[in-house]
């Protein structure tokens, strides 16, 4: 089990990634909506892994990766962003990120990359039924959020 911090300026993405992490057996100990908050919380909570969006208001993910890896050379950061920002992934890796996930994210993609970065064998936490359960749970969550959006 990894202690995880989720960083994204979009509430929906934070909820989605937190749900995947929790269902995969990881503990989400912090979340942040921008790079500055991510850096402060990294120093405070010292997570085993950070998922980091690139494009955020204030300090972006690239700068946050640089700050965090300057503070902790062993930080494990996985970037999550859109394909159109592919060149930024390269910069993120140069800044110290360990891996990246291109949106749209899938349960399998997130768990595979997180397990790889954490050095966890894929079958330790997940079997096919677990993946199915997580997918169903996330689809239900998406519907609920969609209904909430209609009410606003």
Show pLDDT as tens, one digit a residue, over the chain (152 residues).
899 999 999 999 999 999 999 988 999 999 999 999 999 999 999 999 999 999 999 999 999 999 999 999 999 999 998 767 677 888 888 999 999 998 888 888 999 899 999 998 755 444 455 555 555 655 665 565 555 445 44
> Taking the mean position of all CA atoms in its chain, how far away is CA 59?
17
- State which residues form the domain around 142: 3-151
* pLDDT (tens digit per residue) in 98-120: 999 988 888 889 998 999 999 98
Preceding peptide of 104 cis, ω within 30°: yes
Number of domains in the chain: 1
Closest C-alpha among 44, 15, 45 to residue 29: 45
Query: What CATH number is associated with residue 20?
Result: 3.40.50.2300
Separation of alpha carbons 121 and 52, rounded Å: 22
Instruction: Give the Å distances, CA to CA, from 50 to 10, 64, 118.
Output: 16, 11, 11
């Amino acid at each position: 089990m990894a202690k995880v911090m989720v960083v994204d300026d979009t509430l929906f993405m934070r909820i989605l990634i937190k749900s995947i992490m929790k269902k995969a057996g990881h503990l989400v100990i912090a979340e942040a909506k921008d790079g500055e908050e991510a850096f402060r919380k990294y120093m405070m909570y010292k997570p085993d892994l950070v998922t980091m969006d690139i494009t955020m208001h204030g300090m972006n993910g690239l700068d946050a990766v640089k700050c965090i890896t300057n503070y902790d050379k062993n930080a494990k950061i996985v970037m999550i962003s859109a394909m159109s920002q592919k060149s930024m992934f390269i910069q993120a890796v140069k800044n110290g990120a360990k891996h990246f996930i291109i949106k749209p994210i899938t349960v399998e993609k997130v768990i595979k990359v997180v397990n790889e970065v954490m050095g966890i064998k894929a079958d330790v936490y997940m079997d096919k039924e677990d993946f199915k359960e997580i997918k169903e749970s996330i689809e239900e969550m998406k519907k609920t959020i969609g209904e909430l959006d209609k009410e606003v």
